[in-house]
């Protein structure tokens, strides 16, 4: 190892210490060692039994930290200590592209089967699955937006994994807008414009993560515009993810924004309590973590952490790492202690299990109006059914983070405009109707008492 390589690795390690929790760093990243620095590619070794976990859980942060030291072209490869590094086989990139056989470098754990469905992501999941089953014929382009860590990247990998398994002849490219930009700039520098166009415009499916990164980059936007048009005109499927709606990307060219808005736009919101608990159970099962299901450890984490899926998984790692490093047992009290400094706003004792779900709202409304769920979801326009249905939609909009389409889907597949109408009608009545105000107050108190 050269002195320059050792210095680079030392600086990357310093970036990693700042980027992750101390416990996670000591448990998972400190054992890594530098094997080789080949240009902008950092090859590191990990213990055999930890390599897959490190690649899956810390791949992105490794690449980000390496880029902070080496530059935006940095890549990281993670090899097992017992094996020689194999080009492409363990590559960890911010957004994987194609390997030398034209297949996408995917995380095999990110599949539709492993995606936890809830009110906040039901429509996005259904749309992504439809695209995977009928690429190029349904919802093209598909635009999925939502805050970081809610499952957008998971859905992109799910589509790619599904297509790789069922349509092996398709050429699929899964990457990020940042990587598109970096490759485009490199092509300009190397005067390889035609080669760049061939690589990007010859795909059958293009999956792009974090398209907000394209903003304020005039040349890159123009190239992506032409790439998008070439693929769309050829019948290729395009799926995009973003942290905001197309109309909120003010620094994006109008013509590109119009292309993004031409297909189906669907959102993903933060998970509710029930979904958070399900995410933690599935994550623990995937990683073979032995967590007693009857002791409520995962329940404590779900109550403490009410943010993104990524935050949940980070909290789970923190609790498991703390127990491992200290030799303690995984108990609710330990989880509460470990997370109390990071998430002081909630505690295990006396904390309600998050906001109500749409299903719970429907149940409460049915009980209050002596209706069955079938009646509430039916097509009946009778006043005794229509008014409670509008109230339930209004409460779902007020007390959950579900989108209008997701609420409509939970009410027997109604259109989002129906939900908008219901919410508007209830709000208008609340301004003048004392009885309606009392009813909403009563229903709200019942939901809060759960």
- Closest of 310, 312, 243, 330 to residue 273, by C-alpha: 312
β-pair type (237-242, 91-92): unpaired
Does the annotation flag 149 for ligand binding?
yes
Cα 223 to chain centroid distance, Å, stands at 27
Residue owning tokens 């939970």: 410
Which one-letter DSSP state was computed for residue 99? Answer: -
Q: Residue 31 CB: number of other CB atoms within 10 A?
A: 13
Does the annotation flag 71 for ligand binding?
no
β-pair type (172-176, 205-209): parallel
Residue owning tokens 């789970």: 316
Cα torsion angle, 135, 139, 143, 148, sign: negative
Does the annotation flag 151 for ligand binding?
yes
Instruction: Give CA–CA dist 233/229, Å, rounded.
Output: 6
| Tokens read off for 42 | 């950092």
| Crossing angle between the packed helical segments 434-449 and 358-369, to the nearest 10 degrees | 130
Instruction: Tell me if 366 sits within 8 A of 373, measured CB to CB.
Output: yes
Say whether 34 sits in a helix, a strand or coil.
Answer: strand
Say whether 289 sits in a helix, a strand or coil.
Answer: coil
Does the annotation flag 153 for ligand binding?
yes
**Binding site members:** 149, 151-153
**Binding site members for ATP:** 149, 151-153
């Amino acid at each position: 190892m050269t002195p320059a390589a050792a210095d680079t690795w030392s600086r990357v390690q310093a970036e990693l210490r700042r980027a992750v929790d101390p416990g996670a760093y000591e448990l998972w990243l400190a054992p890594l060692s530098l094997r080789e620095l080949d240009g902008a590619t950092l090859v590191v070794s990990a213990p055999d039994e930890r390599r897959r976990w490190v690649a899956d859980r810390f791949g992105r942060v490794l690449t980000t930290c390496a880029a902070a030291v080496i530059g935006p072209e940095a890549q990281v490869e993670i090899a097992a200590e017992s094996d020689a590094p194999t080009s492409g086989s363990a590559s960890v990139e911010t957004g994987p592209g194609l390997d030398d056989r034209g297949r996408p470098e995917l995380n095999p754990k990110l599949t539709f089967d492993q995606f936890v469905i809830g009110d906040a992501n039901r429509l996005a999941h259904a749309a992504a699955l439809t695209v995977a089953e009928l690429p190029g014929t349904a919802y093209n382009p598909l635009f999925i937006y939502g805050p970081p860590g809610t499952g957008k990247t998971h859905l992109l990998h799910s589509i790619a994994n599904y297509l790789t398994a069922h349509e092996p002849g398709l050429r699929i490219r899964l990457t990020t807008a940042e990587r598109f930009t970096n490759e485009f700039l490199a092509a300009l520098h190397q005067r390889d414009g035609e080669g760049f166009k061939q690589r990007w415009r010859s795909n059958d499916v293009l999956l792009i993560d974090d398209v907000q990164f394209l903003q304020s980059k005039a040349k890159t936007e123009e190239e992506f515009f032409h790439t998008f048009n070439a693929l769309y005109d050829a019948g290729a499927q395009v799926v995009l993810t973003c942290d905001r709606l197309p109309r909120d990307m003010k620094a994006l060219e109008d013509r590109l924004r119009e292309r993004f808005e031409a297909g189906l736009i669907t959102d993903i919101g933060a998970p509710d309590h029930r979904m958070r608990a399900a995410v933690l159970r599935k994550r623990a099962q995937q990683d073979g973590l032995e967590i007693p299901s009857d002791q409520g450890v995962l329940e404590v984490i779900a109550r403490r952490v009410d943010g993104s899926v990524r935050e949940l998984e980070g909290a789970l790692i923190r609790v498991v790492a703390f127990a491992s490093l200290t030799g303690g047992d995984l108990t609710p009290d330990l989880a509460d202690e470990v997370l109390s400094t990071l998430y002081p706003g909630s505690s295990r004792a006396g904390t309600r299990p998050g906001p109500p779900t749409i299903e719970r709202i429907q149940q409460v409304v049915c009980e209050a109006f002596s209706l069955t769920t079938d009646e509430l979801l039916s097509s009946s326009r009778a006043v005794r059914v229509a008014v409670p249905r509008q109230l339930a939609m209004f409460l779902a909009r007020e007390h959950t983070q579900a989108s209008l389409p997701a609420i409509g889907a939970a009410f027997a597949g109604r259109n989002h405009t129906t939900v908008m109408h219901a919410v508007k009608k209830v709000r208008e009545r609340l301004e003048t109707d004392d009885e309606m105000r009392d009813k909403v107050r009563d229903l709200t108190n019942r939901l809060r008492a759960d």
